[in-house]
């Protein structure tokens, strides 16, 4: 079996390269774990959770080590910006019931296309929940993914089985430019062999069995919480634990695994000690609100803001920022117009929470080049060819430098605000530290009550 050569052509390579660039610009960090689970060849279905609109598909396109054909809602193929990119990567349109109307042939064509792609040894990517939503919980999976696998297996002329690969997409601040982070967690393949027996396959039961297995596998790759507030508190619990335990997770992948185990323990404890868990949650919420109001994130409470340390920090960071002002200023001047236009466009475009990152990237993809062309025209009109060349050479390097300079400025500003708070109200940090110690102690007690997680 060989990959469809159309998928590795110039159009696919261009879109994948552009996608990687956009994600690298938008997110502070993107980490991929589990690439060893991706088979190098053979038919493959990549099935992922769907919490961040089109950015989810972009992440799969950018991080999968082999070409994939993405299934996307049919109306997106008519979108003037997104449609051309989907066609360039060989995307496959999915017609929802309201879009297909009385024409069942539309999705019959989809199943024929996915079967052909898989039988040619290709890979497809699908979001089996069927729609995107912002809450950190897996929605009920539709059986379409399993039915596509079974259809491809029934029409296969080779003994090579279709691999069903669960992929968890986990985000920190998914819609935040330069502060958000994305994690792609690729799990081991879902067991399918027993569902391909001729007698069982004809009964219709395998589709439901495979869908249930896929749901369990996806839950094993994501941090599933009841809502975004619960997830926020869970991350606060992780900070409390990390401050008091030397054996805390040190990598992003280990951190995600820790959060998964903590969420399982939380659900178990709600059954074992509901009143105690509810009281602990209320205390966490009050502590979170107070530290947020004071501008003192939990990790800053453990720092020693001694005069010598503060003076050294101020000199080092202040000097670095001061020396970087000229180059950063050039970058800001060259990019402030498209940045502000993009921000305005996103404010004016109606969108849900999970569409925020998509809208920012899409608006920037249109507005930045337009603004740059206008600025290039002005540079040429004012200073001729030399000014145009200088503008083009400076455009990207100064932009990246300005991003790094601004990130450092924000970090210094946060530390400064924390130090000022310490100076203005010396009792507040001490009281919050004591409160944190009490919460950490209660957390230790709850951990002892919780069932121990299964060995990984």
- pLDDT tens-digit map of 38-52: 999 999 999 999 999
* pLDDT the model gives residue 430: 82
Answer whether 1's CB lies under 8 Å from 41's CB: yes
How far is it, in rounded angstroms, from Cα 210 to Cα 42? 19
Cα dihedral across residues 436, 439, 441, 446: positive or negative: negative
Q: Which residues of 406-434 are buried (b: 16+ CB within 10 A; e: fewer)?
A: beebeebeebeebbebbeeeeeebeebee
Q: Which DSSP letter does residue 452 get?
A: P
* pLDDT the model gives residue 5: 42
* pLDDT the model gives residue 426: 78
Is the pLDDT at 334 greater than 50? The verdict is: yes
How far is it, in rounded angstroms, from Cα 44 to Cα 149? 9
- Domains with residue ranges and CATH for the chain: 5-219 (3.40.1130.10), 228-300 (no CATH), 303-424 (no CATH)
Is the pLDDT at 154 greater than 90? The verdict is: no
Among 345, 400, 403, 397, which residue's Cα sits nearest to residue 81?
Answer: 345
Please, which pLDDT band fits residue 290 given cuts at 50, 70 and 90?
Answer: confident
Task: Give Rg (Cα) of the chain.
Answer: 25
* pLDDT the model gives residue 219: 94
Cα dihedral across residues 223, 226, 232, 235: positive or negative: negative
Average pLDDT over residues 247-268: 84
Answer whether 366's CB lies under 8 Å from 395's CB: no
List of residues 6+ apart from 246 with CB closer than 8 A: none
* pLDDT the model gives residue 341: 96
Please, which pLDDT band fits residue 420 given cuts at 50, 70 and 90?
Answer: confident
Please, which pLDDT band fits residue 1 given cuts at 50, 70 and 90?
Answer: very low
* pLDDT the model gives residue 454: 58
List of residues 6+ apart from 180 with CB closer than 8 A: 26, 27, 28, 171, 172, 173, 174, 357
Q: Which DSSP letter does residue 177 get?
A: T
- Helix crossing, 228-244 with 252-272: angle to 10°? 110
Is the pLDDT at 197 greater than 80? The verdict is: no
Supply the DSSP string of 106-172, one letter for each residue. Answer: HHHHHHHHHHHHHHTT-EEEE-TTSS--SSSSPPPPPTHHHHHHHHHHHT-SSSPPPEEEEEEEEEE
Supply the DSSP string of 32-74, one letter for each residue. Answer: EE-GGGS-SSS-EEEEE--SSTHHHHHHHHHH-SS--EEEEEG
Q: Which of 86-100, 141-155, 202-216, 298-312 has the lowest mean pLDDT?
A: 298-312
* pLDDT the model gives residue 204: 60
Please, which pLDDT band fits residue 330 given cuts at 50, 70 and 90?
Answer: very high
Average pLDDT over residues 390-404: 95
Average pLDDT over residues 362-385: 96
* pLDDT the model gives residue 379: 97
How far is it, in rounded angstroms, from Cα 362 to Cα 29? 19
Please, which pLDDT band fits residue 303 given cuts at 50, 70 and 90?
Answer: low
Q: Which DSSP letter does residue 273 get?
A: -
Average pLDDT over residues 193-220: 84
How far is it, in rounded angstroms, from Cα 326 to Cα 331? 9
* pLDDT the model gives residue 302: 65
Average pLDDT over residues 162-172: 95
How far is it, in rounded angstroms, from Cα 419 to Cα 414? 9
- pLDDT tens-digit map of 49-62: 999 999 999 999 99
List of residues 6+ apart from 362 with CB closer than 8 A: 54, 81, 82
Between the ranges 174-178, 295-299, 419-423, where is the mean pLDDT highest?
174-178
Is the pLDDT at 32 greater than 50? The verdict is: yes
Among 54, 227, 71, 50, which residue's Cα sits nearest to residue 132?
Answer: 50
How far is it, in rounded angstroms, from Cα 218 to Cα 116? 26
Is the pLDDT at 453 greater than 70? The verdict is: no
* pLDDT the model gives residue 235: 87
How far is it, in rounded angstroms, from Cα 125 to Cα 72? 9
* pLDDT the model gives residue 2: 47
* pLDDT the model gives residue 354: 86
Please, which pLDDT band fits residue 252 given cuts at 50, 70 and 90?
Answer: confident
What rounded mean pLDDT belongs to the chain?
88
Give the rounded percent of residues in the chain with a pLDDT score beyond 70.
Answer: 90
Q: Which residue has the tokens 């400064």?
A: 416
Supply the DSSP string of 375-422, one letter for each residue. Answer: HHHHHHHHHHHHHHHHHHHHHHHHHHHHHHHHHHHHHHHHHHHHHHHH
Is the pLDDT at 376 greater than 80? The verdict is: yes
Is the pLDDT at 101 greater than 70? The verdict is: no
Average pLDDT over residues 337-361: 92
* pLDDT the model gives residue 299: 61
Among 71, 70, 150, which residue's Cα sits nearest to residue 115?
Answer: 150
* pLDDT the model gives residue 188: 97
Angle at 131 between CA 129 and CA 134, to 5 degrees: 100
Average pLDDT over residues 258-276: 92
* pLDDT the model gives residue 158: 67
Please, which pLDDT band fits residue 6 given cuts at 50, 70 and 90?
Answer: very low
How far is it, in rounded angstroms, from Cα 112 to Cα 128? 18
* pLDDT the model gives residue 108: 86
Is the pLDDT at 371 greater than 70? The verdict is: yes
Among 338, 319, 335, 328, which residue's Cα sits nearest to residue 406?
Answer: 328
List of residues 6+ apart from 54 with CB closer than 8 A: 76, 82, 358, 362
* pLDDT the model gives residue 452: 72
Please, which pLDDT band fits residue 456 given cuts at 50, 70 and 90?
Answer: very low
């Amino acid at each position: 079996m060989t990959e469809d050569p159309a998928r590795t052509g110039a159009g696919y390579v261009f879109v994948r390269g552009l996608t990687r660039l956009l994600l690298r610009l938008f997110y502070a960090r993107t980490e991929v774990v589990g690439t060893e689970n991706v088979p190098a060849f053979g038919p493959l279905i990549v099935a992922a959770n769907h919490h961040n609109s089109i950015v989810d598909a972009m992440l799969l396109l950018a991080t999968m080590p082999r070409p994939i054909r993405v299934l996307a809602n049919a109306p997106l193929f008519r979108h003037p910006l997104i449609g051309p990119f989907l066609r360039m990567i060989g995307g496959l349109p999915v017609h929802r019931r309201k879009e297909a109307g009385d024409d069942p042939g539309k999705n019959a064509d989809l199943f024929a296309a996915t079967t052909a792609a898989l039988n040619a040894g290709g890979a497809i990517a699908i979001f089996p929940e069927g729609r995107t939503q912002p809450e950190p919980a897996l929605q009920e999976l539709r059986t379409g993914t399993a039915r596509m696998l079974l259809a491809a297996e029934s029409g296969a002329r080779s003994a090579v089985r279709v691999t069903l690969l669960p992929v968890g997409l986990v985000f920190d601040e998914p819609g935040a430019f330069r502060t958000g982070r994305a994690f792609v967690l690729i799990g081991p393949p879902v067991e399918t062999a027993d569902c391909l027996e001729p007698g069982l396959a004809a009964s219709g039961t395998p589709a439901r069995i495979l869908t249930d297995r896929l749901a369990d596998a996806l839950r094993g790759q994501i941090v599933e919480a009841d809502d975004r507030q619960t997830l926020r508190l869970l991350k606060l619990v992780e900070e409390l634990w990390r401050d008091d335990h030397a054996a805390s997770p040190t990598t992003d992948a280990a951190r995600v695994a820790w959060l998964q185990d903590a969420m399982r323990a939380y659900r178990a404890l709600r059954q074992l000690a509901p009143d105690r868990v509810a009281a602990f949650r209320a205390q966490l919420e009050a502590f979170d609100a107070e530290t947020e109001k004071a501008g003192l994130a939990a990790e800053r409470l453990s720092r020693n803001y001694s005069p010598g340390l503060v003076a050294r920090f101020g000199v080092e960071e202040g000097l670095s920022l001061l020396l970087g002002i000229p180059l950063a200023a050039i970058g800001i001047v060259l990019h402030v117009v498209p940045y502000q236009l993009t921000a305005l466009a996103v404010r004016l475009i109606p969108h849900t929470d999970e569409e925020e990152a998509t809208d920012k990237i899409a608006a920037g993809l249109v507005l930045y080049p337009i603004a740059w062309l206008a600025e290039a025209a002005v540079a040429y009109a004012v200073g001729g060819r030399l000014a145009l060349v200088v503008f083009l050479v400076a455009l990207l390097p100064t932009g990246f430098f300005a991003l790094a300079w601004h990130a450092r400025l924000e970090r210094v500003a946060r530390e400064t605000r924390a130090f000022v708070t310490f100076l203005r109200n010396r009792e507040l940090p001490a009281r919050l530290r004591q409160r944190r110690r009490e919460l950490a102690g209660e957390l230790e007690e709850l951990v002892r009550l919780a069932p121990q997680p299964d060995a990984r």
